[in-house]
């Protein structure tokens, strides 16, 4: 996708979930108890006559809600529409500070040919820097995490949410405050409950990186030799990565410091450019965990760079680094391996 005609006022995501039904997924969204099992810490719904909905009661059109997240932030809104086992629609904040217009989220539930899925359409976002960063990017990252958390809970009983600490599932320190946001660079942090040496290997060997990120990886030394699957890559190695979506990427390892950092090129800055986008990953021990800090830089400050790198990669790294944590914590790999499903599950926007 190019950024030329990209519509920042909406995005749509889809997730397929095994071992479930449209009826079960609907109740995970449309009851106060269901939505706290995978998304928020606490939910209150008040009906038009002032009654508070019970935890297992399906909420209704016109209900006012208050959601409290594990990090302490809150969201207030209104349920706009509910169709049993089919649709759940609600407001999700002002589309710009001081605006009288609301962002809306519509969730639809589907069951066909043995597959079960739901779509999330987030709409009416402002095409301003506020709307693009706070809603389009931040919420895209958030929904990608939380819907895969639901998938993790249903499939293996493991809740990926971070509770009791002042951080999100993936910290995005470059995203806030808004006035400091740069389209040419972003940073993300993830925390893995595993030894630093093991996390480092998952990034820097062909075998390790395919276990959580890509389908296949090949590294070629400057003299033309192909590295072994368990061999740590070296500076100046050229890589070929094949994703489960069918996409192939080629690049170069720029630097590797044992158990400390991994730096590589990550595509051209824009079509026809000789400049590379660069990703630098550092590894540190923090409070008994391994802190991964990923910095992606040298992206073009134009529509192409904003969509194809800043948005797409911000969401993508969030998705895959959380999958890495999932694999370490529970052994559950939530990636879709079928090409079509892989494209859908990692997409940052589908057609309406």
Same domain, 106 and 18: yes
The pLDDT value given to residue 1? 41
Q: Is residue 13 scored above 70 in pLDDT?
A: yes
Same domain, 132 and 68: yes
Is 149 a member of any domain? yes
Q: Which pLDDT band holds residue 3 (cuts at 50, 70, 90)?
A: very low
Q: Structural domain of residue 194, as residue ranges?
A: 178-346
* DSSP element (H, E) containing 186: strand 185-192
Q: Strand 276-286 relative to strand 261-268: parallel, antiparallel, unpaired?
A: antiparallel
Is 168 a member of any domain? no
- What confidence tens digit (pLDDT) does each residue in 32-91 have? 999 999 999 999 999 999 999 999 999 999 999 999 998 888 999 999 999 999 999 999
Same domain, 193 and 339: yes
Nearest to 143 by CA among 346, 352, 351: 346
Cβ(90)–Cβ(77) below 8 Å: yes
The DSSP letter of residue 198 is H
How many separate domains does the chain show?
2
- What confidence tens digit (pLDDT) does each residue in 128-171 have? 999 999 999 999 999 999 999 999 999 999 999 987 766 777 87
Is 17 a member of any domain? yes
Is 3 a member of any domain? no
Same domain, 148 and 188: no
The pLDDT value given to residue 166? 66
Q: Is residue 4 scored above 70 in pLDDT?
A: no
End-to-end CA distance of the chain: 15
Cβ(242)–Cβ(214) below 8 Å: yes
Is 75 a member of any domain? yes
Nearest to 109 by CA among 155, 41, 169, 58: 58
Same domain, 190 and 116: no
Is 274 a member of any domain? yes
Average pLDDT in the chain:
94
Which CATH number covers residue 304? 3.30.530.20
- What confidence tens digit (pLDDT) does each residue in 198-229 have? 999 999 999 999 999 999 999 999 999 999 99
Is 161 a member of any domain? no
Is 331 a member of any domain? yes
112-134: b (≥16 Cβ within 10 Å) or e: eeeebbbbbbbbbbbeeebbbbb
């Amino acid at each position: 996708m190019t950024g030329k005609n990209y519509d920042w006022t909406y995005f749509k995501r889809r997730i397929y979930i095994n071992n479930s039904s449209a009826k079960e997924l609907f109740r995970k969204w449309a009851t106060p108890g269901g939505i706290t099992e995978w998304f928020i810490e606490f939910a209150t719904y008040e009906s038009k006559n002032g009654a508070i909905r019970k935890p297992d009661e399906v909420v209704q059109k016109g209900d006012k809600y208050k959601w409290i997240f594990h990090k302490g932030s809150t969201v207030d809104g209104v349920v706009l529409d509910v169709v049993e086992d089919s649709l759940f629609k609600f407001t999700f904040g002002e589309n710009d500070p001081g605006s009288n217009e609301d962002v809306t989220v519509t969730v639809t539930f589907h069951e066909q040919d043995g597959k079960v899925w739901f779509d999330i359409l987030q709409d009416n976002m402002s095409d301003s820097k506020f709307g693009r960063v706070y809603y389009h990017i931040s919420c895209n990252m958030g929904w990608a995490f939380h819907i895969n958390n639901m998938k993790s809970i249903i499939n293996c009983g493991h809740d990926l949410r971070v509770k009791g600490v002042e951080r999100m599932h993936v910290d995005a320190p470059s995203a806030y405050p808004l006035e400091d946001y740069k389209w040419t660079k972003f940073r993300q942090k993830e925390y893995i409950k595993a030894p630093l040496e093991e996390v480092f290997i998952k990034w820097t060997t062909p075998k390790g990186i395919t276990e959580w990120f890509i389908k296949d990886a090949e590294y070629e030394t400057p003299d033309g030799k192909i590295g072994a699957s368990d061999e740590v890559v070296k500076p100046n190695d050229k890589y070929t990565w094949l994703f489960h979506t069918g996409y192939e990427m080629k690049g170069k390892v720029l630097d590797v410091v044992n158990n400390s950092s991994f730096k590589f090129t990550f595509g051209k800055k824009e079509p026809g450019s000789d400049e590379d986008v660069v990703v630098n990953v550092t590894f540190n021990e923090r409070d008994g965990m391994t802190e991964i800090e990923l910095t992606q830089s040298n992206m073009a400050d134009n529509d192409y760079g904003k969509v194809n790198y800043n948005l797409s990669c911000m969401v993508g790294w969030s998705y895959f680094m959380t999958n890495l944590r999932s694999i370490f914590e529970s052994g559950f790999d939530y990636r879709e391996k079928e090409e079509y499903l892989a494209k859908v599950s990692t997409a940052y926007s589908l057609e309406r």
